[in-house]
């Protein structure tokens, strides 16, 4: 029964990652600039989660201290999504997703810092390997250096809020966490709107209006690509290790790049060196659990000895 549940959890996780791989593409299909896009996404998500909470008759009552912590993570999520969509606009969906592949390596350094444990030597080595992969991409895709840099910042923010969410998920229901985080992300984006004119976009005014199919893409982004996967991921964090989840999420660029080439066509096709650099990053993060398992076995043998 436990094995069946674990397999089901990982299959669900892969389905969620496939959905998330589609978000960068949606960000390019929607005409709104990054900050306005995040505002509408989180607004739709907040309303969607509120509907689920009402239907399930769950409580939203939290202590003030816990509420501040959850909403603080929501601000990090807002910043992550703003930089994520901004990166895709500055470069391409593929470049954005390649940068996001570093999330688990960021987690390897952030988790010990948050939990006050030592960083392992092989995490440093793998970090250097990831940097070499990034240098390959930078060298041959120099025109996308800014977009890739913003994607790396987005990956760092994703790792940070994932680690913090892993701790929060042990104390609160997924719907409570998702609602307050989406609400905080929405409010933060709204408060930021007056200060960013001309920073994230060439337009000099805030773009509120939707055009063409924006309404449909925003609904898909806010409900199918946010409410469902976000709530389920928080629930999965109660049963699966945070690093294991973030490691599996490294398949997001693989799914996303394939979807981008299929859907967006020629504009997403990159040089062979780009795919080589991305492959180096993915190999390094996939090696991590092998080295981690070997290190734990070595320690266990020493303890028994």
Residue pLDDT, tens place only, 191-210: 887 776 545 445 556 677 77
- Burial (CB < 10 A; 0-12, 13-18, 19+), residue 292, is middle
Encoding tokens for residue 134?
A: 């990034």
Length of the chain: 305
The pLDDT of residue 146 is 87
CA distances 25 to 18, 36, 126, 234, 304, Å, are: 12, 16, 29, 24, 51
Average pLDDT over residues 266-283: 74
CB 151 within 8 A of CB 98: yes
CB 238 within 8 A of CB 169: yes
- Burial (CB < 10 A; 0-12, 13-18, 19+), residue 118, is exposed
CB 177 within 8 A of CB 165: yes
- Burial (CB < 10 A; 0-12, 13-18, 19+), residue 102, is buried
More confident residue, 297 or 221: 221
Residue 32 pLDDT grade (very low, low, confident, very high; cuts 50, 70, 90): confident
**Which residue in this structure is represented by tokens 């995040």?**
38
Q: pTM of this prediction?
A: 0.78
- Burial (CB < 10 A; 0-12, 13-18, 19+), residue 261, is middle
Tell me the per-residue pLDDT of 155-191, one tens digit each, with 9 for 90 and over.
Answer: 999 989 888 887 887 777 878 888 999 999 999 999 8
Shortest CA distance to 230 belongs to which of 286, 180, 191, 157?
180
Average pLDDT over residues 274-296: 74
The pLDDT of residue 268 is 62
Average pLDDT over residues 215-220: 91
Average pLDDT over residues 219-226: 88
- Give the integer Cα–Cα distance in Å for 112 and 188: 28
Average pLDDT over residues 43-61: 87
Shortest CA distance to 80 belongs to which of 114, 38, 139?
38
- Burial (CB < 10 A; 0-12, 13-18, 19+), residue 129, is middle
Helix runs in 57-144, H state only: 64-90, 93-100, 103-115, 121-140
């Amino acid at each position: 029964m436990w094995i069946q549940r674990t397999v089901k959890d990982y299959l669900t996780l892969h389905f969620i990652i496939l959905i998330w791989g589609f978000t960068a593409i949606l960000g390019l299909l929607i005409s709104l600039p990054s900050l306005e896009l995040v505002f509408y996404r989180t607004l739709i998500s907040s309303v969607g989660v509120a509907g689920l909470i009402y239907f399930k008759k769950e409580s939203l009552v939290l202590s003030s201290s816990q509420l501040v912590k959850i909403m603080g993570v929501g601000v990090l999520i807002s910043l992550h999504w703003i930089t994520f969509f901004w990166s895709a606009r500055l470069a391409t969906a593929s470049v954005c997703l390649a940068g996001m592949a570093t999330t688990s390596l960021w987690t390897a350094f952030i988790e010990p810092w948050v939990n006050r444990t030592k960083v392992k030597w092989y995490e440093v080595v793998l970090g250097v390997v990831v940097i070499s992969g990034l240098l390959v991409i930078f060298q041959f895709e120099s025109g996308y250096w800014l977009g890739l840099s913003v994607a790396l910042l987005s990956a760092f923010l994703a790792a940070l809020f994932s680690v913090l969410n892993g701790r929060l998920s042990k104390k609160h229901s997924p719907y409570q966490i998702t609602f307050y985080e989406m609400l905080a992300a929405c409010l933060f984006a709204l408060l930021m709107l007056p200060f960013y004119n001309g920073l994230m976009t060439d337009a000099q005014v805030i773009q509120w209006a939707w055009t063409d199919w924006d309404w449909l893409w925003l609904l898909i982004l806010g409900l199918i690509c946010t409410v469902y996967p976000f709530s389920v991921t928080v629930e999965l964090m109660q049963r699966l290790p945070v690093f294991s989840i973030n490691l599996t999420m490294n398949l997001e660029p693989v799914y996303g790049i394939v979807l981008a080439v299929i859907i967006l066509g020629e504009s997403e096709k990159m040089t062979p060196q780009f795919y080589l650099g991305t492959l180096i990053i993915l190999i390094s993060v996939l090696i991590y659990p092998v080295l981690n398992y070997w290190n734990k076995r070595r320690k266990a043998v020493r303890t028994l000895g």
